[in-house]
A and B are shown apart, each in its own frame.
Chain A
Amino acid sequence: MNRYFIRRTLLAIPTLLVISVLLFGLLQLAPGGPAALYAGPDAGPEDLERISRLLGTDQPPPIQYIRWLGGVLRGDWGISFRYREPVVSVLAGRLPNTVQLMAAALVIALVLAVPFGVISAVSRWRVIQYLASVAAMLGVSIPTFWLGMMVLLVFSVKLRILPSGGIATIGLEYDPVDRLVHLIGPASVLATMYIAAWSRYVRSSLLEVLHQDYIRLARAKGLSEWAVLTRHALRNALLPLVTLVGLQGGSLVGGAMITEVVFAWPGMGRLLAEALASRDYPVLMAAFMTMAVLTVIGNLLADLAYGWVDPRIRLS
């Protein structure tokens, strides 16, 4: 059992290495050079040469990559071109905000998706089934950023009950209620897609389980419908959801990124968008790799969780 976990964890390392090589190679394609960006428009040729020697960009790309990787492993992720401070401290200010947003969205999505899915599966009323399928389809089809804009339009501009973005009111940075109010909009918007996708999944998974013989047996024993549903059906129907949740790490990262841009949420995603616009390579590289790590961790947790809940998987 431990060997399975260790093997899966070790497999994540080459994946991350390949991703980092790909991205590093990609950044080499960029026109101009980091030195020119760092130096600014007034720098002469000698300045450029000096700066590129300082940054190490006069070396061939493979050497640069190895230096970068060595630095990353030692905790030295370079200096941000834009903020002129260590990338690590720039990231440290942003990562918790993204994790907070993603965690809040995950909780909202799970808390709502399961009951929605169950209701649409067991309801005898066609109206409810119909509404549930249209609502779920809407949820997966509306672009996250547009939903965010509409939420801002309705709740912030028109009704004035939610703030118009940001993580906290200036001056109230340590007020938990204020932070919570700021979190509601972006977290709900980010959660919407997953509420829809997962409730569809719970519905179909539950419908499948409800046709199994052991459910008929449970009913024949005289158990109440509630007991059949919660103790026998749901327990089996929800197992695959564990994997699904983990596998969507990548899309959650992308979704969080665009949600952050719309809601001016100071997280990793917005940092990446800003780094891209200002060509801040060290921050870009670090933000991207952090997102890749979050995704790979999601996939890994999905694998491990599945092996944990379903012992059959571990044998193969």
Chain B
Amino acid sequence: MPPAATGEHAEATIGARRTLSPARRAWRRFRQHHLALASAVILGVLVVASALAPVASKYDPDAASLEILAPPSPEHPLGTDDVGRDLLSRLLHAGRISLSVGFGAAVLTVAVGVLVGAAAGYYGGQVDALLSALVNVMLAIPILPLALVLSSFLQTNLTFVILIIGGLSWPAVARIIRAEFLSLREREFVEAARVVGAGSGRIIFIHILPNTLAPIIVAATLQVASAILLESALSFLGYGVQPPQASWGNMLQDAQRYLRTVPALAIYPGALISLTVISVNFLGDGLREALDPRLQV
């Protein structure tokens, strides 16, 4: 994110507005989206808190104790779970897992989506026909059941969860990038690059790709949100992140049995998932308005 614009008063004078760099103009628009700004702050807090989990909490998140289902107390600010593990410590450590899966899967989704979308959109013809057919078939498969089947038959460690989520989510991104490339490849600057002898790879990555950065950034943000949601659903059903490693989703799986007696076990992890996802979504909204005012929703 670009640094805050300094010297606003100077920019407000007549004529100066035109000389603002695109990044600064984007930042100005982003700042006006108060919810997005607040979301960025909340996300920052969540990321820092999860990153500092080992320091912030004195309890081992996986260490069972005799104090089971304890109510909140000075020693255990949020109480303990059904095998006596400190809830706060577990929430923080689970945050690291859930956020890593979210970001990791989003990076993978966007990387594959951009490559496939760029190839289909740029080369067209048979390449496009083949890739588009693949995208359409994948979009026709209900993603949650397929992810469940995959992760129940393959290994279920963290890397595989990321691979499965990323491997199933990219078609939506590929579709967006393909559409961008289809229209951009007809533009004069691509023609010009071709005339001076640039190869396909150079045209795709150096000339066209930078022009699709706005939709890519927005799609990447929204993919973080949907990856976190998918991971939580998989883990909730028992096929995602495996215990004793905590993720917000699998904490909810255990919590289901104690809904009547200790609802706190169910409330906190879900509230954190919701807070994270809503912040990421608002951030995506703000970025969309800031980077690409045409795409206003």
Partners in one complex: yes
A180 within 8 A of B: no
Measured in the bound complex, the distance between the Cα atoms of B232 and A254 in whole Å is 13
Instruction: Kindly list chain A residues whose C-beta atoms are within 8 Å of the C-beta of B267.
Output: 150, 153
Q: Tell me the chain B residues, 116-147 only, with Cβ under 8 Å from chain A.
A: 136-137, 139-146
Instruction: Kindly list chain A residues whose C-beta atoms are within 8 Å of the C-beta of B273.
Output: 142-143, 146
A149 adjacent to B142 (CB under 8 Å)? no
A299 within 8 A of B: yes
Q: Tell me the chain B residues, 163-213 only, with Cβ under 8 Å from chain A.
A: none
Measured in the bound complex, the distance between the Cα atoms of B151 and A30 in whole Å is 11
B219 within 8 A of A: no
Q: Tell me the chain A residues, 242-282 only, with Cβ under 8 Å from chain B.
A: 250-251, 253-255, 257-258, 261-262, 269, 272-273, 276-277
A254 adjacent to B278 (CB under 8 Å)? no
A204 to B, closest residue via Cβ: B297
Measured in the bound complex, the distance between the Cα atoms of B148 and A88 in whole Å is 22
B54 within 8 A of A: no
Measured in the bound complex, the distance between the Cα atoms of B20 and A121 in whole Å is 32
A15 adjacent to B137 (CB under 8 Å)? yes
Q: Determine how close the nearest CB of chain B comes to the CB of A12; give it in whole angstroms.
A: 8
Contact status of A276 and B259, CB under 8 A, knowing A137-B278, A258-B237, A292-B142: no
A87 within 8 A of B: no
Which of A19-27, A37-45, A218-226, A307-315 contacts its partner?
A19-27
- Selected from A19, A27, A137, the residue in CB contact (under 8 A) with B137 is A19
Interface size on A, residues (CB 8 A): 51
Instruction: Kindly list chain A residues whose C-beta atoms are within 8 Å of the C-beta of B263.
Output: 153, 157
B281 within 8 A of A: yes
B230 to A, closest residue via Cβ: A254
B274 adjacent to A142 (CB under 8 Å)? yes
B252 adjacent to A157 (CB under 8 Å)? no
Measured in the bound complex, the distance between the Cα atoms of B229 and A152 in whole Å is 20
A107 within 8 A of B: no
A295 within 8 A of B: yes
Instruction: Kindly list chain B residues whose C-beta atoms are within 8 Å of the C-beta of A257.
Output: 142, 144-145
B139 to A, closest residue via Cβ: A250
- Selected from A26, A27, A137, A254, the residue in CB contact (under 8 A) with B142 is A254
B30 within 8 A of A: no
B270 adjacent to A272 (CB under 8 Å)? no
A182 within 8 A of B: no
With a 10 A CB-CB cut-off, give which of B136, B239, B270 has the most chain A CB atoms: B270
A157 adjacent to B260 (CB under 8 Å)? yes
A296 within 8 A of B: yes
Contact status of A200 and B259, CB under 8 A, knowing A23-B149, A145-B233, A276-B149: no
Q: Tell me the chain A residues, 285-315 only, with Cβ under 8 Å from chain B.
A: 287-288, 291-292, 294-296, 299
